[in-house]
Amino acid sequence: MAADSQVTSGDWKTSHGKISCFVWDADTPKPMSVVLTGAGTLSYLSAAWEAIRPSMTPGISIPALKASVGKAIESLYAKHIVPFAQFPDRPGIQLLIGVGRSQEHEELWLSEFSPLVETRPYYAVGVGQNYAMAILERLYRLPLMDCVDTAVLAGHVVKLVKDSDVSCGKLTEIVAIRKGKWHQASLETVKEIDAASEHFGGEVEPYVFRRALGVGAPPINDWLDKSSFRDIVRELRQEWA
């Protein structure tokens, strides 16, 4: 999961982390983690996290957790959003929730206007949603990628969205669930992904397209070898092992 750093607080746009994480049963063979991000005001995103936090109880199954989180979000809407729906500048939030338990599958849940549904294998919310989804639909292919590959892809997509929309924050957070525990990419790794994205968009993709057209260009492998995406993936696999 990846997010830019900008959140809304009234008329202000501020730089602030937008991903919340929690792990429990960490000392057991089957730890479980939840990672949440979303689009909306800082206060409502914080309220959403506080609302679903009590659902994270030891030994709970993924289906039971989903049902409990869904009820918590419905209650949040009923108390704090629906009463203000009549106003022109009515509040609202979009939530993406990743959940995973060791030795089981991971799931990605989406809440837009209250209902909580499972969405796979990817989704985007916020001001850059349409552009991000267009990129993901172009780049993501089956079979499913593992969490490290997907984390780097998510960082690449956020970088492209940040560069295209001045209303997005300029910093990126990247968090992934692996073997039931959440892991966060360091600021240095995020900078490496940003640099690799710039190289790919400015040096690799144009020449790949020229080669596809049959126009003279250096061998594709010469440019791919200069990309550091695979180096980042290798480092993250070791770091998140």
**In a domain? residue 42:** yes
Distances (CA, A) of 86 to 12, 26, 80, 155, 157: 23, 44, 13, 37, 35
Single-letter amino acid code for the residue at 41: T
**In a domain? residue 235:** no
**In a domain? residue 214:** no
**In a domain? residue 69:** yes
Ramachandran class of 121: left when φ > 0, alpha when ψ lies in -120 to 50, beta otherwise: alpha
**In a domain? residue 173:** yes
The first and second tokens of residue 209, run together, are 């397209």
Q: Cβ of 118: how many Cβ atoms within 10 Å?
A: 12
**In a domain? residue 205:** no
Sequential pLDDT tens for the chain (241 residues): 999 876 544 443 434 578 999 999 999 999 999 999 998 888 888 999 999 999 999 999 999 999 999 999 999 999 888 888 777 777 788 999 999 998 888 999 999 888 999 997 899 998 889 999 999 999 998 888 889 999 999 999 999 998 887 777 778 999 999 999 999 999 999 999 999 998 888 877 887 787 788 887 666 666 666 667 888 999 999 999 8
The predicted model scores a pTM of: 0.87
Q: Which CATH number is 167's domain given? A: 3.60.20.10
**In a domain? residue 229:** no
**In a domain? residue 12:** yes
Residue-range definition of the domain harbouring residue 155: 2-185
The first and second tokens of residue 9, run together, are 């607080």
| Count: domains in the chain | 1
CA–CA separation, 41 and 8 (whole Å): 5
